[in-house]
Amino acid sequence: MAEVRGSGPKRKAAGFTLIELMLVVGILGILAAIAIPSFMSYVRRSKTAEAGQNLSSMFRSAAAYMAQEHSAQSITSTIGTYCSVGSESITPTPRGSKQPYEGGAATRALGFTIADYVYFGYGMTGTDKCGWAGNDSQVYTFMAQGDLDGDGTRSTFELAAGTDQDRTLYHTSAIYIVNEIE
C-alpha cells in the first residue's frame, strides 16, 4: 500500500469562539452590575462605624468630666461637683471627604479629641452647670453628621445622656440614626 501524505490525524483549532467570549463578557457584566452597588454600600457602611465609636468616646469623656471636681482659679473659689459643659455646634462641616477635627471650647473642656481625619462632624447640646441633683433625663445629646458621598444628604447619629439618682451619667441603650448610609 502506498502511503498518502498529509492525510494524518486532523489538528483541532485552539482558542475560544466568538460566542463563548461574548457569553463570558455578558456574565461578567451582570456580576459587576450586582457587585458594584453592593460594594459601594459596604464602603459607606464601614465609614459610619467612625460615628458610633466617636459618640461613645464623647460620652465617656463627659462621664469622666462629671465625676471630677472643678474649681475656679482664685483663693476664694468654690469647688463644683457633678458638672457638665454647654453646647457645641457640629464641626467640621460634613462634605464627603475626610478632614481634620478641631473641637470647640465644650469638647476641649471634656478632654475629647480625635487625632485622625474624620468623615463626620461632631457636636453636642448640653447645659453648662454644676450640682446636678438627682435624676435629669436629659443632660447631653451627642451628635455626628456626615455626607458620605458628597450629595448633600446627611447621615445623622445621636446619643442621648442623662443622670440617675446617684448623679451618674448614663446613655440610652442605642444610638438614634437617620439616613445611615444615605
Q: Rounded to whole angstroms, how far apart are CA atoms 44 and 49?
A: 9
Q: Rounded to whole angstroms, how far apart are CA atoms 108 and 129?
A: 16
For 127-167, write each residue's pLDDT tens digit.
Answer: 888 877 666 778 899 999 999 888 889 999 999 998 888 77
- For the ranges 11-20, 76-85, 172-181, the one whose mean pLDDT is highest: 172-181
Cell 451619667 belongs to: 169
- Residue 134's pLDDT is 64
Spans of all domains in the chain: 48-69+80-178
Helix (H) or strand (E) segment spanning residue 80: strand 79-80
pTM: predicted TM-score of the whole model, two decimal places: 0.76
Residue 142, phi-psi category: left (phi > 0), alpha (psi -120 to 50), beta (remainder): beta
Spatial neighbors of 16 by CB under 8 A, at least 6 apart, are none
Q: Rounded to whole angstroms, how far apart are CA atoms 122 and 22?
A: 51
14 vs 62: which has the higher pLDDT: 62
CA distances, 176 to each of 3, 38, 99, 122 (Å)? 89, 24, 24, 15
Q: Rounded to whole angstroms, how far apart are CA atoms 37 and 33?
A: 7
Q: Which of 179, 158, 173, 174 is nearest to 51 (CA)?
A: 158
> Lowest-confidence range among 57-61, 78-82, 174-178?
78-82
Spatial neighbors of 127 by CB under 8 A, at least 6 apart, are 84, 86, 139
The DSSP code sequence of 19-63 is HHHHHHHHHHHHHHHHHHHHHHHHHHHHHHHHHHHHHHHHHHHHH
